[in-house]
Structure 1
Amino acid sequence: MSAVLRRDRRAFPSDPPRDLADPHAIAAHDWAAFQAVSHMSNHWDRPGWSGGRAYYWMLTFPNERALINDARACQDAVTNPALDLVPADGLHITLNKVADSAAMGERDLARVVQVAQDTAPQAFDLQVGPLAGSRGALRYSVAPWNPLISLHAILARAGTLAGAAGGRSTESFRPHLGIAYSNTTRPADSVISQVAELRGRPTLPVHVSHADLVELRRENATYRWDVISAITLSAGN
């Protein structure tokens, strides 16, 4: 399943990269967008968040030791009171919002998972890095985007068939992996300069063989979740 990405002012970057399969084009596009940011904003000031819990599809990386170590090294290099660091067990790529927790029962969730599993794509490899950022976060570029976009579209369709409210459409999806969130509004130039010094670090390979359905919550300035279920991506031929 494929989808066409479109310009969306709410997304970052607003325009998608010119080539969704080329890691160099994706990284350059992310970096150019971050360099154009004049001020960091408060990531936690999000009107769309109800303050409760919600179900999301995520890719999580609890066993990717190289990724965890690299994220920690980058965090150590840019430590600042205005940045809330993502803990080692909190690294993730957000895919789709399914619905607020109060809107979904167990049978509804089971339906979402079954439809998603029945249409799950093949497992795929990602390249994580280099480091870049957005208006509200420091984050790695990830590439290629094509398999992530296809997975997002499949999961969105599973939610629609189960009557879930969902979140943003696949057209607005901009894959990334965050390592820190800005907790205030301030000029971005010093952060961009620090990130620039880290962009020469090697990129990291990650194999994606499953997607987790989680119940997401906030604990102070950290995202936490409980894994409710998961789908397995097929090994292919």
Structure 2
Amino acid sequence: MSLLSSDPAAFPADPPTDTHDPVAIAAHDWAAFSALDEMTDHWSRPGWSDGSRAYYWMLTFPDDQGLAALAGYCQAELAPLGLDPVPTDGLHTTLARVGTPDVVTPGQLDSLARGAEALLPSAFFVRAMPLAGSRGAVRLSLGPWEPLLLLHHALAKAGSDAGLVPKKPTSAFRPHLSLAYNNRRRPAAPVVEAASSLRTLPAVELSVSLVQLVELRREGRTYHWDVRKSVPLR
């Protein structure tokens, strides 16, 4: 049974037909991005103002020089657009929102991490492929999706078991890795055109052997976080 379904709030709204094929996933992401007429301001999302904090499950890649080089090159090429680039030490893939510090207790975080450790799948590799985007960002496609979906599903189960029901189900999860956030409403065509010229760059293979539970905070037009729990995949 597929873990995905159509969701108008997700991007792309419809999932790819094959979650195992990175090439098909990248093409599907590009088709959705290139069909946009307008891009929105990433920073105007309700409930996520400057200074906001929340706990998230994330994948981070602080030591991956290949990813850093790819991101840096793409960001330099996109610089004339005036997007907000993600710092090299801030490159990440958001998996699932857990809750806010005023609601989630330290004991619940401990319970969540223990539960997740027992449920996580085996370590795996994914390809980060240039380049596509969403309504509010330019981003790398990731593929295959299947191991990422299984990871998300395990984290969602751990959250439910700990009394922290995920905000979004796995069916609405669309794996990606953002490189630059759009900071105003604008026609999408110039951004799509700039991204198009970078799509022939080679993909980077990423190792996923650890998932981190972080306290994410917004500082101006960037994100920072503190790691609360690191849980290894089997």
Partner of 2:96: 96
> RMSD over aligned Cα, in angstroms?
1.2
Q: 2:2, 2:31 → 1: CA distance? A: 24
SS at match of 2:5: coil
- Gaps of at least 5 residues in structure 1 are none
Q: 1:215, 1:193 → 2: CA distance? A: 35
Partner of 2:44: 45
Partner of 1:183: 183
Whether the 8 Å CA contact 2:156–2:165 is kept in 1: the answer is no
Q: 1:201, 1:140 → 2: CA distance? A: 11
Q: 2:210, 2:15 → 1: CA distance? A: 25
SS at match of 2:102: helix
Q: CA shift at 1:168, angstroms?
A: 0.8
Point out the more displaced range, 110-119 or 78-87: 78-87
Q: Deviations over 1:7-40 (max 9, x none)?
A: 1111000000000000111000000001001111
Partner of 2:34: 35
Q: CA shift at 1:82, angstroms?
A: 3.6
The yes-or-no answer on 1:64 pairing with 2:57 is: no
**What count of residue pairs does the alignment treat as equivalent?**
233
Q: 2:167, 2:123 → 1: CA distance? A: 24
Partner of 2:11: 12
- Gaps of at least 5 residues in structure 2 are none
Which amino acid is 1:27 matched to? Answer: A
Partner of 1:118: 118
Whether the 8 Å CA contact 1:41–1:136 is kept in 2: the answer is yes
**Identity percentage of aligned residues:** 49
Whether the 8 Å CA contact 1:3–1:150 is kept in 2: the answer is no
Q: 2:201, 2:13 → 1: CA distance? A: 26
SS at match of 1:101: coil
Q: CA shift at 1:140, angstroms?
A: 0.3
> If the length of structure 1 is used for normalisation, what is the TM-score?
0.95
Q: Kindly report which structure 2 residues correspond to 1:159-170, keeping only aligned pairs within 5 A, or say none.
A: 159-170=159-170
Which amino acid is 1:36 matched to? Answer: A
Q: CA shift at 1:166, angstroms?
A: 2.5
Q: CA shift at 1:104, angstroms?
A: 1.2
Distance 1:163 1:3, change over 3 A: farther
Q: 2:167, 2:147 → 1: CA distance? A: 19
Q: Deviations over 1:25-57 (max 9, x none)?
A: 100000000100111100111114365211000
Q: 2:221, 2:2 → 1: CA distance? A: 33
Whether the 8 Å CA contact 2:81–2:191 is kept in 1: the answer is no
Which amino acid is 1:17 matched to? Answer: P
Q: Deviations over 1:123-145 (max 9, x none)?
A: 00000012111110000000000
Q: 2:165, 2:215 → 1: CA distance? A: 15
Q: 1:3, 1:60 → 2: CA distance? A: 26
> If the length of structure 2 is used for normalisation, what is the TM-score?
0.97
Could you list the runs of 4 or more consecutive aligned residues of structure 1 that deviate by over 2 angstroms after TM superposition? 48-52
The yes-or-no answer on 1:84 pairing with 2:84 is: yes
